[in-house]
Structure 1
């Protein structure tokens, strides 16, 4: 690792966070869509209408989540090209994005807006607690990683392509 590499990665600290953040939103939205919407059939993104409307809302949700994923990957590719990728900072952003989206979904969309529930059962509180506790754990770990990488030189390994 060279001082030059440290400077590049520190200079791109914000871009590392935002790349991970967008990718984290896209990742958790993809898992939600694929697992809970498509495979388990627990709910649709919008459940206050017909099944057809629910399916269209799932498609729109899926498309928007992929926009976040692709934007995060474009930033990631730029970081790699500029030799500015910082895995610890990026993972912090990913966990903040994933946990933040999941907590938003579990509180705002499920409880305040009531556009869908995680599952339609009599004792939904158990599902809500698990969903939101996982979100908080992701957020706490992500925030910890972001804080510990703020205003510090990253400790990174030099890969073989950095010697070229």
Structure 2
């Protein structure tokens, strides 16, 4: 997976994750990447510096759940290019996000509102290296990224059973 800093033609800056650079190129060419601020689909990569870590600093773990989520997202994008019903594609997307949310909840340690502090402690080696999730403000998330700490935001979906 690769995270790109992106710009729309109105210079709104945002980031998005892609399987690889080819996936970004294909999705952008088909208008599938849209600005979350204005909905514009004329998207380009922003200038960004790479984050380089040694093998001892980072363990890369790709679970079966992550692979399944990536494959489902790619299938949804392919279906959209082939003229699939947008409602069905949206449903597929929601199912993928739900699976990813469950994967995070099942495999990561929940640290609640202490997320930013715990992420810093792990990054600096003051806490055990492990995957965590919790709550952080947009300011805390931006500060972590400025400090070179990789974080991603996953929307919290309501459990269908809880929503009914």
Superposition TM-score, scaled by structure 1 size: 0.31
**Relative to total residues, which structure has the larger helix share, 1 or 2?**
1
Superposition TM-score, scaled by structure 2 size: 0.31
**Relative to total residues, which structure has the larger strand share, 1 or 2?**
2
Q: Which has the larger radius of gyration?
A: 1
Q: Which has the higher contact order (CA 8 A, sep 6+)?
A: 1
